[in-house]
Amino acid sequence: MTVELSVLPTHWGKSRVDRVASVNARIGWKALTAAEYQPQGFTFLSTPNIKGREIDFENVNYITEFRYQESPELKLREGDALLVKDGNTLGIVNLVKHLPRPATVNGSIAVIRPTGIDGAFLRYVLESRVTQAAINMLKGGMGVPHLFQWDINRLPVPVPPLEEQRRIADFLDAETARVDRMADIRKQQIDLLGSSEASVISDSLESTGGTPTRVKHLATKITSGPRGWGDLVTDQGSLFLRITNIPRRGITLDLEDSLYVTAPSGPERERSRTRSGDVLVSITADIGSVAIVDERAADANISQHVAMVRPDQGSCNPTWLAYAIKSARSNQFLRMNSYGGTKVGLGLGDVANLSIDIPDLMTQEQSASRITQILSQREDLRHRMIIQRALLAERRQALITAAVTGQFDVCTASGRNVTDEVSA
């Protein structure tokens, strides 16, 4: 496979990785196993350690001196570029800017040591769209994505004069740092909007007051699904709702990853059959996640890991009840009751005995409508921020690509246009 570089400045050259650097990677693990990791010793980097802007030398595994010394070509030096060559994160790149202690890498990382090129410039070349496109072409169709050393060696490299390489790297260090700071702000805002859901619900519910009442006194049925129905999965049949269908945020069922079962007739089928307005609660994982059964999932069946609460709709609004169960206070109660001894989840009794403050039906409806509106607005804002963060990532890579292929002169570029339409 050959990937051609775009037209470069006339005073630049063209090369490939193996002509400007050495490429080394661990062949297998040389029988190294996780059981050999040490509490202290020589740093052994893995993919998570190089995913950030800076290499993480703190949260690492350690190996013995013997294991470190047996692969001298993988003893890291400042200026080495590290490239993930295996797995779903294939293509991630980082640069060894400093070495706080002797370190090496595991079998998923290739060490690319510059011999005729600036290491920081080479790092950005590997991050550019040109190289990443080549990597994506190579990994397409593989069960487990993998880059062979032969592939890495032949990746194309533009070669400006050394001093120009350093100017480009310095420019990109400054400009990508600025973009990354904006992306970090967006990430914090996205996380904050996602984590504040329980507070929004609690604040609204607390303002309505009400009479403390256990869930079992608000429901006409509380049940969970039958055991063993995982063996009844089929391409067609009854919709089978699992904890994966109950979202962490919001109360709308996620039916994207749905299963169907050939549900046997009889009491078990009838007992666990859903109706529109039923409230589903996760009781073995993501404790306290809640969803409402809508028309899409009416007449489905639930798994043994899901509790179904059927509210008495004459006195209890289903949407309000779902929010009440999802509130911070209720969530704390359910989580506390899911731990202790050999207990690994909630029982139906835990859900039934949850106490919530219930106001009159009209107040419930108004409160539910208000919460839904606020959460919808926040989710819309969160979605826009996710798009902005993705846009920043695209423009970051576009900036890198333009700089390392000579599409503009970094001496006169300011980077002002990198973040157009994306404000902090």
Instruction: Specify the pLDDT at position 88.
Output: 82
- pLDDT tens digits, 295-334: 999 989 999 999 999 999 999 999 999 999 998 888 888 8
In 252-380 the beta strands, taken as DSSP E runs, fall at: 259-261, 279-282, 290-292, 301-302, 306-311, 355-358
Mean pLDDT of 196-210: 84
Banded model confidence at residue 423, pLDDT cuts 50, 70, 90: very low
Cβ neighbours around 247 below 10 Å, total: 15
pLDDT top residue among 344 and 171:
171
What is the pLDDT of the chain when averaged over all its residues?
A: 88
Rounded Cα–Cα distance for residues 321 and 359 (Å) = 11
Query: Which residues, other chains included, contact 408 with Cβ-Cβ below 8 Å and sequence gap of 6+?
Result: 402
Q: Specify the higher pLDDT residue, 112 or 340.
A: 112
Band the pLDDT of 1: cuts 50, 70, 90: very low
pLDDT above 90 covers what percent of the chain? 61
Is the pLDDT at 404 greater than 70, yes or no? Answer: yes
Q: pLDDT for 93-141, tens place per residue? A: 999 999 999 999 998 999 999 998 999 999 999 999 999 988 888 775 5
Residue 287 is predicted with a pLDDT of: 85
CA atoms within 13 A on the CB side of 218: 32
d(CA 337, CA 272): 23
Over the stretch 281-291, which tens digit does the pLDDT of each residue have?
999 888 879 99
Task: With cut-offs at 50, 70 and 90, classify the pLDDT of residue 420.
Answer: low
Q: What is the pLDDT of residues 16-64, one digit of tens each?
A: 999 999 999 876 556 677 788 889 999 999 999 999 889 999 999 999 9
Instruction: Say how many C-beta atoms besides its own lie within 10 A of residue 67's C-beta.
Output: 20
pLDDT at 337 over 70: yes
How confident is residue 265, by pLDDT bands cut at 50, 70 and 90?
confident
Q: DSSP letters of 247-278?
A: -SSSSB---TT-EEE-PPSSHHHHHTB--TT-
